[in-house]
Structure 1
Amino acid sequence: MAAETSSSHNSIPPSRFPTHHGAAEIHPQVRILCEIVATAPTYEVEGRLASSQIKPEHEFVQQVLKHSYNSPAAAAKFFRWAGLVQRHTPYSWNLMVDLLGKNKLFDPMWDAIQSMKQEGLLSLTTFVSVFENYCIAGRFNDAVLTFDVLEGYGIPPDIVAVNSLLSAMCREDNRTAKALEFFERIKGKILPDADTYSILLEGCEKEGNVAKAKITFGEMVIRVGWSPEYMFAYDALLNTLVRGSQGDEAIKFLQVMKGKNCLPGLRFFSNALDIFAKQKDSAHAIMLWDIMVGSGLTPDLMMHNVIISLLTSSNDIDNAFRLLDEMVFHGAFPNSLTYNMIFGCLIKNGKVREVGKFFLEMIKNEWDPTPANFAAAIKVLFDGDDPEMAIEHWKYMSKNNISPRDDSGNAVLLGLCNLGRLSDLRRFAEKMIDEKIILHESTMTKVKNAFYKQGKGSHEIYDTISRKWKSSCLQA
């Protein structure tokens, strides 16, 4: 509750319809009272309560009300019965007001408020509940009218009250415009504070209203200035800009905030990075990254992998390598995913020399390529005139029993076919068949063509391989 100043046990329960069922450590007498309220016909509630011979202690009353939101009529009977024994506390009254409001029983709610007024028990907490429940019900004009009559109930309509109403409005979907309308009317009478703007900016963020967010933030800077304490507001503005595909604006604001010593924390940067990744916006992601690390924030391994994934999918291999080299300085050590993303990018872009070099670095650091990357690398290396490195990949897979190896094995045979290296082709094919590698028909057709081109003697070699392959297929 925005205006609640007492300890948490005095706050109105956040759930709209709490229930006692399954509640932990509920007092046995409270459970009995809750059962009566929940199950007794309304006209029998007071009689059953009296028959229980349980004294309605203040704590009991509060607990029963908290667990009786689904039974408003019976809860009202219970409240009246308990009030005959002893005067209710302000907290119990506030619970009753909230319970009635949550159930849209607004006339009885106001009757309760009048009773509280007569007993001098009203506080802003009471009206915060009214604001919230009118807004939940979509009755925003009634919420504003409630604010307008606060003074008549002895409650000062100060900035805490303003913020409570704005917060209630902005929590509901697509109602920030209503909150801004109220704000425009009231700001000349009651001076807004940083919380006011944070609430409005968070509402703009929720609705993705970039234009209103920028206007509201501009006014905030003029009225309350800059402070690291206003970080919630800054986060809300930046998130709105990033989600609204306003990367340029977000970066500009970040640079200004850095100059004011008001940069957001690592959580914002992590979220923004995820959004840029979804938008496939590598240019702004790398700008964001450089501002972050340049300000002394330390990204973790997950953040490194997010941006390296984005950079490699955008074929920005230079920045991907730069971030890989910088990881150790941030205490984040690359893992299999990190290496394989970069390795995959090198393969995709046909960087033959770099593929071989990076493969050696990977295995040196004990991170193996994925089977898919092995197969793709072997193909690229054969196509790029580095068959020896392709064969090194295959030998490494075999030696370290990396599986599945079927795609890689077929890639090796096709590469050897294209080069006409029949001696190696025969040796590798026979060994693969022995190792139960699945060789595709299309691959065996290429193998056949490669041997048959060399004349009759080579036909016999292929036929031997073919019989062995067909026998292996039958056994499988």
Structure 2
Amino acid sequence: MEAMAENPSNRLPGVPFKHTPQIIPSSSQIPGSHSQSQQHLYPSFLEIPDVSPSARVICEILGKVSPHELETVLSSSGIKPLPEIVEEVLKLSYGSPAAAVKFFRWAGLNQKHSAHAWNLMVDLLGKNGMFEPMWDAIRSMKQEGLLSMAAFVSAFGNYCVAGRFNEAVMTFDVMDRYGFQPDTVAVNSLLSAICRQENQTLKALEFFDRIKGKIPPDGDSYAILLEGWEKEGNVAKAKTTFGEMVIRVGWSPQNMSAYDAFLTTLVRGAQADEAIKFLQVMKGKNCLPGLKYFSNALDILIKQNNSSQALSLWDIMVGSGLAPNLVMYNAMIGLLCNNNDIDNAFHFLDDMVLYGAFPDSLTYNMIFQCLIKNKKVREVGKFFYEMIKNEWPPSHSNCAAAITMLFDGDDPEMALEIWDYMIKNRVLPLDESANALLIGLCSMGRMSELRRSALSMFDRRIKIFESTMGKLKNAFCKEGRSGRDTYDDLSRKWKSS
């Protein structure tokens, strides 16, 4: 107790006290212990289906019994705190650290705790920001001969989550006092803990630069830093780190996560040309990334609307023997169509079956839409036949757009064929295409056909827009008295329908 009374502010974390502390602090030394035991009533564990009966009973006791009665009630429960029960209860007790400590002390009176139970207690205390009690637990583990690297990894992570990075680094520095010689695994664990926090990769780099002369880094060390730079979008730092990595650890397919992070940082940073140069080098080193990287990189380039670099990336991918899937083909075809590169879009459509990716409705409709947008009148008709032959018909919106474009492009017969196909095959809804057809017939002065089509649409309860009726009125009224009478008849039927 004398050790606990010392002011810890002047000590490095983990430096042993002058006096041996008790195995684990009493609940009176834990902030909020008296109120916590009254407030956290384990609201969620009862909903967990795989809680053992014994752990369930203990959790109920911890949630309901006051702190000064807890050990008595636990002892009278008749439950033997076997190691697996202790571990299970601790896993459920992260929200109630005061009660967890009380339970842990009581369970330790009956038998020694397992190493896993001690690690859970260290992690529980650290996650609740109770770092001095956490160190008491670490020292106790050392006394028991149960201390492992897992306890230090937990301390690294919890200090970093709390924003106490200097103390995380000092924890690393005192590991040797606890019988652990810091190694590359420990370095990587601390780097990972720092880099998991937002915008802290520079702090991780400071630690890395200090330690790399004493403890040789490996590919994972650089991968952690490169993933940090990727998350922060720091292209310059990523290039420096990657260059150092190649010099110190060389090229190896085992370092793929580092390569992925570096290349992704370049692509996201609008330096896809640099990424492609590196990919060419990596191909020669037999270190080319897998399909997942190429898929993610293409997604980024597509969002950037960068079709030229996406094509270069694609060529490297298929040239290395990787087979793109349908999603990737559709993404590329969509990008090409968005840039009106219809020739390359057709090239991809023709090639995809060779790689086992068969076009679907989206594939065909993107190309069809591009043809319509670029007013390729003859190609629209030809491609329409190919679509229905392969049983991937155009969407209703593409049909409407095609009908409008075909009338404007002086191919009304093809427009009527599309309309007839829609009727026969129930490509719904019909409203937009119906109005496009009527407006097209109006513009060409095909009045008798216009009248028949309008009557048929009224009978089918197809919605004709008021603006369309206005165009019909103008067209029919130009035909004189008979035209006005025809329009009046159509107008009555339109209103009644």
TM-score if structure 1 supplies the norm length?
0.91
Report how far residue 90 of structure 1 moved: 2.0
After superposition, the Cα gap between the structure-2 partners of 1:60 and 1:36, relative to the gap in structure 1 and judged at 3 Å, is same
Question: 1:468 maps to what in 2?
Answer: 489
Paired position in structure 2 for 1:395 = 420
- 1:64/1:437 Cα in 2 relative to 1: closer, same or farther (>3 Å)? closer
- The match for 2:247 is 222
Given that 2:352 and 2:359 are in contact with CA atoms closer than 8 Å, whether structure 1 keeps it comes out as: yes
CA shift at 1:159, angstroms?
0.7
1:351 aligns with 2:351: no
Deviations 1:23-58 (A, max 9, x none): 333221222222222332222221111111322212
The one-letter amino acid paired with 2:116 is: Y
* C-alpha distance after superposition, 1:212-261 (max 9, x if no partner): 11111111111111111111111111222222222222222222222222
Contact 2:253–2:286 (CA under 8 A) maintained in structure 1: yes
Note closer, same or farther for the CA distance 1:426–1:74 as it changes in structure 2 (3 Å cut).
closer
Distance change in 2, residues 1:121/1:154 (3 Å): same
User: SS in structure 1 opposite 2:441?
Assistant: helix
* Alignment partner of 1:20 out of 45, 54, 57: 45
* 1:409-455 deviation digits (Å, cap 9, x = unpaired): 2222322332233343333333333333333343334334334444x
For 1:158 and 1:190, locate their aligned partners in 2 and report how far apart those are by CA, in whole Å. Answer: 6
The one-letter code sitting in structure 2 at the alignment partner of 1:173 is E
- Contact 1:416/1:422 (CA < 8 Å) preserved in 2? yes
Residue 87 of structure 1: aligned partner? 112
* Structure 2 equivalent of residue 261 of structure 1: 286
Name the TM-score, length of structure 2 as normaliser: 0.87
* Residue 65 of structure 1: aligned partner: 90
CA deviations 1:244-296 (Å, max 9, x no partner) are 22222222222222222212111222222222222222222222222212221
Please give the alpha-carbon distance, in whole angstroms, between the structure 1 residues aligned to 2:455 and 2:138.
Answer: 90
CA 124–467 in structure 1, closer or farther in 2 if over 3 Å, else same: same
TM alignment of 1:69-148, pairs within 5 A: 69-148=94-173
**Further displaced range: 246-255 or 103-112:** 246-255
Look up the equivalent residue of 2:184 and give its one-letter code: I
Q: Deviations over 1:91-122 (max 9, x none)?
A: 22212111111111111111112222222222
Contact (CA 8 Å) 1:18, 1:66: kept in 2 or not? no
**Candidates 177, 193, 210, aligned match of 1:168:** 193
Among 219, 230, 234, which residue is 2:259 paired with? 234
- d(CA) in 2 for partners of 1:127, 1:343: 60
Residues 419 and 151 of structure 1: CA distance in aligned 2, closer, same or farther (over 3 Å) = same
Could you tell which deviates more after superposition, 395-404 or 107-116?
395-404
Secondary structure of the residue that 1:111 maps to in structure 2?
helix
1:206 to 210, 219, 231: 231
Aligned residue runs from structure 1 range 290-439, under 5 A: 290-439=315-464
Q: Which runs of 4+ in 1 moved over 4 A?
A: none
Kept after mapping to 2: 8 A contact 1:18/1:67: no
Q: Distance in 2 between matches of 1:281 and 1:266?
A: 19
Structure 2 unaligned spans of 5+: 1-41
Distance in 2 (CA, whole Å) between partners of 1:451 and 1:394 is: 22
- Per-residue CA distance 1:59-80 (angstroms, 9 max, x = gap): 1221121211122122112212
**RMSD over aligned Cα, in angstroms?**
1.9
Cα pair distance change 1:469/1:126, threshold 3 Å: same
Does 1:286 find its partner at 2:311? yes
User: 2:44, 2:430 → 1: CA distance?
Assistant: 58
The answer on whether the counterparts of 2:477 and 2:483 sit within 8 Å (CA) in structure 1 is: no
Deviates more, 1:131-140 or 1:377-386: 377-386
Structure 1 residues 230, 47: closer, same or farther in 2, change over 3 A? same
Identity of aligned residues (%): 65
Asked whether the equivalents of residues 304 and 323 of structure 1 are also in contact (C-alpha less than 8 Å), the reply is yes
**Is the CA contact (8 Å cut-off) linking 1:433 and 1:468 kept in structure 2?**
no
- Looking at structure 1, the residues matched to 43 and 472 of structure 2 have their Cα atoms a distance apart, in angstroms, of 72
Give the Cα separation in 2 of the matches to 1:29 and 1:224. Answer: 51
Alignment partner of 1:447 is 2:469: no
Conserved? CA contact 2:326–2:357, under 8 Å: yes
Q: Distance in 2 between matches of 1:163 and 1:346?
A: 54
Aligned CA distance change for structure 1 residues 155 and 436 (closer, same or farther; 3 Å)? same
Distance 2:240 2:228 in 1: 13
Among 260, 268, 275, the residue aligned to 1:243: 268
Pick from 171, 186, 199 the counterpart of residue 211 of structure 2: 186
In structure 1, give the amino acid aligned to 2:482: E
Judge conservation of contact 1:201–1:217 (CA < 8 Å) in 2.
yes
Q: CA deviation at 1:462?
A: 4.5
Give the one of 50, 65, 73 matched to 1:40.
Answer: 65
Q: Which SS does the other structure have where 2:46 is aligned?
A: coil
Letter in 2 for 1:471: R
State whether residues 458 and 494 of structure 2, in contact with CA within 8 Å, keep that contact through their aligned partners in structure 1: no
Q: CA 1:33–1:436 in 2, change beyond 3 Å: closer, same or farther?
A: closer
- Aligned partner of 1:12 in structure 2 is none
Q: 1:104 to 1:467 in 2, by over 3 A?
A: same
In 2: Cα distance, 1:137 partner to 1:18 partner: 25
Structure 1, gaps ≥5 residues long: 1-16
Q: Distance in 1 between matches of 2:296 and 2:80?
A: 53
User: Match for 2:358: what amino acid?
Assistant: F
Separation in structure 2 between the aligned mates of residue 18 and residue 226 of structure 1, nearest angstrom? 52
Secondary structure of the residue aligned to 1:403 is coil
Residues of 2 paired with 1:346 and 1:399: CA distance? 24
Deviation for aligned residue 1:19: 6.2
| Kept after mapping to 2: 8 A contact 1:413/1:428 | yes
2:170 is the counterpart of 1:149? no
CA distance in 1, matches of 2:172, 2:362: 56
Instruction: Say if 1:31 and 1:431 are closer, same or farther in 2 by CA, change over 3 A.
Output: closer
The amino acid across from 1:102 in the alignment is K
After superposition, the C-alpha distances for 1:183-228 in whole angstroms (9 at most, x for unaligned) are 0100111100011111111111222222211111111111111111
Q: Which amino acid aligns with 1:470?
A: S
Letter in 2 for 1:388: E
> Does structure 1 residue 196 correspond to structure 2 residue 221?
yes
